[in-house]
Amino acid sequence: MDIVPLGPGFAAELRGITLAAVAADDALYRETRALLDEHSVLVFRDQAVTDEVQLAFSRRFGPLEVTKVGSDGAGTNLVILTTIGADGKVAAPDSRRALRNKANHLWHTDSTFKRVPALASVLSARIMPAQGGETEYVSTRLAFERLDADLRKRLNNSFGWHDYAHSRGQIAPDLASPEERAALPPACWRMVWTNPANGRQALYLASHAYAIEGMEKDEGLKLLGQLTAHATAPGTSYVHQWRAGDVVMWDNRATMHRGRPWPAHEARLMVRTTISATAADGLESMRPPSQQAAE
């Protein structure tokens, strides 16, 4: 296997490896897991990816999320991200489907609003527009390391509140449906995730974050905005230009990402699997003290 660095201090392409091989081989899985812990974003090109191969690969890393209500693929382990409607046509720019896609263009971390947050996501390109539609990543680990020591210490002892309805509300006031709101109550997590494999710490931020425990609402939102701007400063990102057969895996504990726009009339179909975080991934230390005692 060749490891080719891609981004400014994080992200790497793994050459000479297939998802199917990782799914079938213990040693290869352990090597890939160690590379994920180190590089945060892993790119696999020219993969013969099917739903089955993607599921088998993803299951190696931990339990898979069941797709939430209101998303294509609800109730399965696949999230279908598409602009193609049930009628086979590309959805109109003002449709709910198109607006939900637009919400993915905000800087975020997957699943911070869930009861169990995500270790990693795996995204495969199935139908891509001729241009645009890139995915852009930043390292929240490198962003954390760029902060001064006092702020790092303070954030280590701070807890942020995350709500799916908050990020959707930035696109349209009622984009999160009553059904989604009921299924997804706000979740509270420490603002720094420590990776137990290497001790490295990362900011835990997302467009879903709307408050900081113990801070006035406006003051908390202001700090969240400043930290997001810091983490996504110019020159810090890796932009993935998708080709057919590409699969990208990222560590949600140490990155943020956003989708980039593409011409509205062009179809795009991506399939995501999401691996839930477990105690071995550092999950327990993310809970606020009250919940640590309760669970």
Q: What residues line the site for Fe ion (CB under 5 A)?
A: 110
Q: How far is the CB of 171 from Fe ion (least distance, A)?
A: 14
Closer residue to Fe ion (CB): 11 or 17:
11
Q: How far is the CB of 216 from Fe ion (least distance, A)?
A: 29
Using DSSP's 3-state secondary structure scheme, residue 182 falls into helix
HSE on the CB side for 149, CA within 13 Å?
0
Closer residue to Fe ion (CB): 71 or 291:
71
Closer residue to Fe ion (CB): 17 or 120:
120
Using DSSP's 3-state secondary structure scheme, residue 91 falls into coil
Closer residue to Fe ion (CB): 110 or 163:
110
Tell me which H or E stretch contains 159.
strand 159-162
Q: How far is the CB of 118 from Fe ion (least distance, A)?
A: 9
**From the CB of residue 88, how many other CB atoms can be counted at a distance below 10 Å?**
7
Q: How far is the CB of 46 from Fe ion (least distance, A)?
A: 23
Using DSSP's 3-state secondary structure scheme, residue 18 falls into coil
Closer residue to Fe ion (CB): 120 or 192:
120
Q: How far is the CB of 149 from Fe ion (least distance, A)?
A: 31
List the beta strands (DSSP E) in 216-283: 237-240, 247-251, 255-259, 269-276
* Burial degree of 217 (CB within 10 A; 0-12, 13-18, 19+): exposed
In Å, how far from its chain's centre is CA 101? 14
CA pair distance 278, 286, nearest whole angstrom:
11
Closer residue to Fe ion (CB): 17 or 205:
205
Q: How far is the CB of 271 from Fe ion (least distance, A)?
A: 13
Q: How far is the CB of 132 from Fe ion (least distance, A)?
A: 17
Q: How far is the CB of 41 from Fe ion (least distance, A)?
A: 13
Closer residue to Fe ion (CB): 120 or 283:
120
Closer residue to Fe ion (CB): 102 or 152:
102
CA pair distance 157, 219, nearest whole angstrom:
17
Nearest residue to 81 (alpha-carbon basis) of 100, 62, 106, 54: 100
Is the Cα dihedral 166, 168, 174, 176 positive or negative? negative
CB-CB contact of 161 with 210 (8 Å): yes
- Residues contacting residue 144 through CB under 8 Å, at least 6 positions apart: 152, 155, 192, 201, 202, 203
